């Protein structure tokens, strides 16, 4: 799923205690989404979470850092491409240099040497579409992948065109990379996930609202217009936000 431990920590206090949210225009597929959420949650409890817990126990902290750095470096290729599509040329130069430095001096990205001088950014094609004025569309829970929107689903397809993993020709290697990245990502959520334990909340609505808020924040580089958050507790108003300006 596309939400982070930091996001959970920042939003749990404001959302704890909420009852179920009414179906909104941002979630017209709520019955389907809740069913798919239930499927994904059952799969997570049966397989993904135990595997992630085993990964945390078996792999030392140094090893987990190397794995995280490796996939972060691969992601920087996608980030750089989307920097260019958003005409953020200074940022594109920085992110492109990160890939070059970490892929060489950083031993194939295992060591994040570039962070000593170059900031890491977060861009994807879903954000690029939002930057140029494409509305998010309805919230959508995808099988296995979790939270998304119509725009972000299309964005994932766009990112796959430049993704190093999806363009890896050797199928066993490609599948191993996808699997390892998924386990790494799930393991990173384990500690912060405990913040939700025992909280009297509708977890589906919590994850939906947190996801939509974070995606809008990313589109506007952390500075969304205030009116986006003036519509009660609905993180994405019924009208699509204006494009972020260059």
Q: Mean pLDDT across the stretch 197-221?
A: 88
Q: Total structural domains in the chain?
A: 1
Full DSSP string of 53-92 = HHHHHHS-HHHHHHHHHHHHHHHHHHHHHHHHHTT-HHHH
In a domain, 44, yes or no: yes
Task: Note whether residue 236 is domain-resident.
Answer: no
Percentage of the chain surpassing pLDDT 70? 80
Structural domain includes residue 245: no
Task: Report the range of poorest mean pLDDT among 28-32, 38-42, 168-172, 203-207.
Answer: 203-207
Please tell me the distance from the alpha carbon of residue 195 to that of residue 235, in angstroms, as a whole number. 21
Q: Count other C-beta atoms under 10 Å from residue 166's C-beta.
A: 15
Nearest to 130 by CA among 11, 210, 224, 205: 224
Structure confidence at residue 122 (pLDDT): 96
Range name among 64-73, 82-91, 148-157, 188-197 with the lowest pLDDT average: 188-197
Question: Within a domain: residue 26?
Answer: yes
Is residue 12 predicted with pLDDT exceeding 50? no
Please indicate, yes or no, if residue 153 is contained in any of the structural domains: yes
Domain that holds residue 106: 5-229
Q: Is pLDDT at 242 greater than 60 in this prediction?
A: no
**For residue range 103-112, what is the model confidence (pLDDT) as tens digits?**
999 999 999 9
| Mean of the per-residue pLDDT values of the chain | 85
- pLDDT beyond 70 at 164: yes
Residue with tokens 């690029």: 128
The answer to whether residue 175 sits within a structural domain is yes
Which pLDDT does position 2 carry in this prediction?
A: 44
User: Does the residue 238 lie in any domain?
Assistant: no
This prediction's pTM: 0.80
The predicted-structure confidence for 26-51, as pLDDT tens digits, reads as follows 899 999 999 999 999 999 999 999 99
- Judged against a pLDDT cut of 50, whether residue 233 lies above it is answered with no
Averaged over 49-56, what is the pLDDT?
96
């Amino acid at each position: 799923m596309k939400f982070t431990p930091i996001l959970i920590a920042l939003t749990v206090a404001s959302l704890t205690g909420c009852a179920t949210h009414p179906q909104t225009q941002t979630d017209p597929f709520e019955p389907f989404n809740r069913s798919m959420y239930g499927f994904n949650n059952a799969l997570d409890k049966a397989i993904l979470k135990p595997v992630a817990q085993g990964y945390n126990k078996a792999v030392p902290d140094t090893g987990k850092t190397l794995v995280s750095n490796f996939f972060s470096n691969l992601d920087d290729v996608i980030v750089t491409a989307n920097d260019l599509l958003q005409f953020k040329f200074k940022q594109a130069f920085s992110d492109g240099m990160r890939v070059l430095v970490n892929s060489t001096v950083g031993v194939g990205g295992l060591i994040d040497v570039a962070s000593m001088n170059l900031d890491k950014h977060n861009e994807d094609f879903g954000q690029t579409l939002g930057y140029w004025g494409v509305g998010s569309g309805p919230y959508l829970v995808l099988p296995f992948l979790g939270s998304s929107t119509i725009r972000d689903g299309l964005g994932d397809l766009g990112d796959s065109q430049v993704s190093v993993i999806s363009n890896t020709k050797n199928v066993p290697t490609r599948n191993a990379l996808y699997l390892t990245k998924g386990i790494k990502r799930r393991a990173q959520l384990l500690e912060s996930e405990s913040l939700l334990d025992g909280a009297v909340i509708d977890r589906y609505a919590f994850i939906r609202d947190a996801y939509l808020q974070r995606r809008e924040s990313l589109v506007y580089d952390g500075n969304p217009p205030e009116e986006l958050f003036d519509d009660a507790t609905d993180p994405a108003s019924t009208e699509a936000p204006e494009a972020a300006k260059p």
